């Protein structure tokens, strides 16, 4: 990587210091000499400077970001190319990233977290309004300026919004990817909203909701699990904030806010309600959540009521049995009206009235007694039913807290899992959503983490043989990469677990397969060397001449790979010999020691002084003889002795 510090880029930007460096570019602090202001310059790494596809994406980033101008966005000022230096000039924000702040200070109180999110959403909403997705929202890309401003930056993954923007490969940091990006590789503004919800969860709890040793474990949880309520880790989190996180991170995009501006309205409303002390006492946060997911107990449903036009008295127990949704019976809210049969008129009128009154009285008492008993049995007694909540990826303590209303007999069972972090709940039996009675048995399966086993020996096998061996050992075939190597062509020479370290069962194991050795072209003529190199599929990036004591002039010395490892289509530098580096012995006899020494060293020779004179006299003492004759051809670096004796 070239060091640009002290250089003037674009005849305008003086590079002062390096701010950060990543896999594709380096960011420098510079001074815009034309406008006399500090700027940040993002420079493509030299090895990518000749990649036209990457340069096109880099320029697209500049054009995309330049469309946006907002107080909560890092603004883009300029883009250009200076020789081999391709650069992007941005607003310089003095401060730290949100990731640095979280590491140093930990999670934030609910109101402070919401205020932070509101500024981020304000910038993101401006991007969405301009038709641009960010696609990489995370604490590393949020800058906290020294003057208190919050800035969203790095639109390196940004692209225009469509109804279902296809991303090809998964992009963005895995911890913040929405389910639709994981499963279908498609994104829209609601995918950024999902990432904002994950970011809020992290601000409140200090950790990400889904964690794992491998990216695939985290991606699986995004696609198959619900983000837990922040209050499970941060008990002081208000219930309304839990709802906000659930709304923003709903698995189905249709259940989330349409874009950042919609979420921003609710965030600002919630901030105001929290400051007024009424967020958890009112229903102002009317989120569009799926009602089935919102119910945690069947008792939330309203009680059934007898039809006032009924022609007969219905037993309360029968009523409840006929309505599986009901768990309690409120006799005081029930009307019982009996329409008497005509044959009652055969009795004396007063006796008939007494019988009618008695029937009504007995029926009413029966309903009250049965209703009260059934209400107790199904509401708070042994027959009460409740819904098993989603417990996946919770700690045992958190899971048991969520089950407290059901009071089940919990049995803990340990088993391996490649998708759930060690120590967290994998699943329950009965599963989430099932109805169980109070005190019923419930099994919680706790993750031991992935089962670690040794990878099979794959060295020397071809890809087909290695694949069969991986599958039979409980692994998957990962990416197969081919590189030039000293091993025979077609052989596997490197892979995950080759050192014998156990790896998780089911892991996708990447293979490195040899393309054979890099062509040996030393000592042949340049034209033949070029033909041999191109025949292997390699590209020659440059041809340079160097001195060589062993290779004749015009013959090739060797190849220098421009990337490691070197794959098919990779670039190499071809070195051609200029022959040995020879210099002519100058005349030094009669010169002072100092003058002779300077003359010899100036042509590239080493000097040995044989004298009995003090060094302070070397400017006066003359050289009387030298070990080599004038005009002799000597190799650069050869040692010549001069003498004053």
Query: Hey, which residues are catalytic here?
Result: 136
Contacts 24+ apart (CB under 8 A), 579-582: 579/547, 579/548, 579/551, 579/552, 579/553, 580/547, 580/548, 580/549, 580/635, 581/547, 581/635, 581/636, 582/633, 582/634, 582/635, 582/636
DSSP string, 252-303: SGGGS-SSHHHHHHHHHHHHHHHHTT-TTTS--------HHHH---GGGSPP
**Inter-residue contact 153 to 179 (CB < 8 Å):** no
Run of H or E including 217: helix 215-224
Strand positions, DSSP E, 73-123: 76-82, 85-91, 95-97
Rounded CA gap, 304 and 168, in Å?
52
Strand order in the sheet with 508-514: 476-483, 508-514, 492-495
Residues 6+ apart with CB under 8 A from 58: 25, 44, 86, 88
Alpha-helix residue ranges (DSSP H) falling in 513-619? 526-535, 593-602
Rounded CA gap, 73 and 67, in Å?
11
Rg of the chain taking only CA atoms, in angstroms = 39
Tokens encoding 497: 């677990």
Task: Kindly report the number of other CB atoms within 10 A of residue 87's CB atom.
Answer: 25
Beta bridge partners of 132: 160
Rounded CA gap, 50 and 27, in Å?
19
DSSP string, 564-587: SS-BTT-EEEEEEE----EEEPPP
Rounded CA gap, 190 and 406, in Å?
35
Rounded CA gap, 639 and 462, in Å?
54
* CA quadruple 210, 212, 217, 218: dihedral, nearest 10: 30
Rounded CA gap, 259 and 163, in Å?
12
* CA quadruple 278, 282, 283, 287: dihedral, nearest 10: 20
Rounded CA gap, 139 and 226, in Å?
21
Which backbone phi and psi does 364 adopt, to 5 degrees? -65, -45
């Amino acid at each position: 990587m070239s060091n640009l510090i002290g250089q003037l880029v674009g005849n305008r930007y003086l590079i002062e210091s390096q701010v950060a460096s990543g896999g594709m570019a380096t960011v420098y602090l510079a001074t815009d000499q034309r406008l006399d202001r500090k700027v940040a310059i993002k420079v493509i790494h030299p090895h990518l400077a000749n990649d036209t596809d990457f340069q096109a994406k880099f320029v697209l980033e500049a054009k995309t970001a330049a469309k946006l101008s907002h107080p909560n966005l890092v603004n883009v000022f300029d883009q250009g190319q200076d020789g081999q230096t391709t650069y992007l000039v941005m607003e310089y924000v003095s401060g730290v990233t949100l990731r640095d702040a979280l590491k140093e200070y930990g999670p934030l109180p609910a109101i402070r977290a919401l205020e932070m999110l509101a500024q981020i959403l304000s910038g993101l909403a401006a991007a969405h309004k301009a038709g641009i997705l960010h696609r990489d929202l995370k604490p590393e890309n949020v800058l906290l300026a020294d003057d208190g401003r919050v800035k969203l930056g790095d639109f390196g993954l940004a692209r225009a919004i469509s109804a279902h923007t296809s991303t090809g490969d998964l992009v963005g940091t895995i911890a913040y990817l929405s389910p639709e990006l994981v499963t279908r590789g498609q994104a829209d503004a609601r995918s950024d909203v999902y990432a904002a919800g994950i970011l809020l969860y992290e601000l409140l709890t200090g950790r990400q909701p889904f964690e794992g040793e491998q990216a695939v474990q985290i991606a699986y949880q995004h696609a198959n699990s619900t983000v837990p309520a922040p209050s499970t880790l941060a008990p002081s989190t208000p219930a309304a904030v839990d709802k906000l996180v659930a709304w923003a991170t709903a698995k189905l995009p249709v259940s989330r806010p349409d874009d950042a501006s919609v979420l921003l309205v609710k965030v600002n409303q919630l901030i105001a309600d929290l400051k007024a002390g009424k967020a958890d006492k009112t229903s102002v946060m009317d989120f569009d959540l799926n009602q089935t997911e919102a119910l945690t107990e069947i008792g939330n449903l309203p009680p059934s009521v007898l039809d006032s036009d009924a022609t007969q008295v219905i037993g309360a127990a029968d009523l409840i049995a006929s309505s599986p949704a009901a768990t309690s019976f409120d006799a005081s809210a029930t009307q019982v009206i009996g329409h008497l049969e005509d044959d009652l008129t055969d009795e004396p009128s007063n006796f008939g009235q007494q019988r009618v009154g008695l029937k009504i009285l007995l029926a009413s008492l029966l309903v009250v007694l049965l209703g009260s008993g059934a209400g107790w049995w199904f509401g708070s007694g042994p027959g009460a039913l409740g819904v098993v909540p989603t417990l996946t990826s919770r700690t045992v303590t958190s899971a048991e807290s969520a089950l407290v209303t059901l009071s089940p007999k919990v049995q803990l069972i340990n088993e391996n899992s490649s998708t759930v972090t060690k120590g967290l709940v994998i699943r329950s039996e009965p599963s989430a959503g099932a109805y169980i009675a109070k005190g019923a048995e419930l099994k919680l399966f706790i993750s031991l983490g992935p089962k670690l086993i040794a990878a099979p020996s794959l060295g020397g096998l071809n890809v087909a043989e290695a694949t069969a061996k991986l599958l039979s050992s409980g692994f998957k075939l990962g990416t197969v990469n081919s590189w030039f190597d000293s091993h025979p062509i077609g052989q596997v020479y490197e892979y995950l677990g080759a050192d014998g370290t156990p790896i998780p069962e089911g892991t996708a194991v990447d293979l490195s397969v040899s393309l054979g050795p890099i062509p040996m072209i030393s000592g042949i003529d340049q034209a033949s060397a070029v033909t041999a190199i191109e025949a292997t599929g390699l590209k020659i990036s440059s041809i340079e001449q160097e001195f060589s004591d062993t290779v004749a002039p015009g013959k090739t010395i060797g190849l220098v790979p421009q990337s490691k490892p070197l794959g098919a289509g990779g670039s190499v530098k071809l070195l051609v010999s200029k022959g040995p580096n020879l210099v002519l012995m100058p005349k030094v006899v009669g010169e002072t020691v100092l003058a002779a020494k300077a003359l010899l060293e100036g042509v590239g020779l080493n000097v040995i002084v044989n004298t009995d004179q003090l060094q302070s006299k070397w400017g006066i003492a003359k050289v009387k003889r030298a070990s080599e004759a004038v005009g002799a051809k000597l190799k650069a670096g050869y040692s010549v002795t001069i003498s004053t004796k």
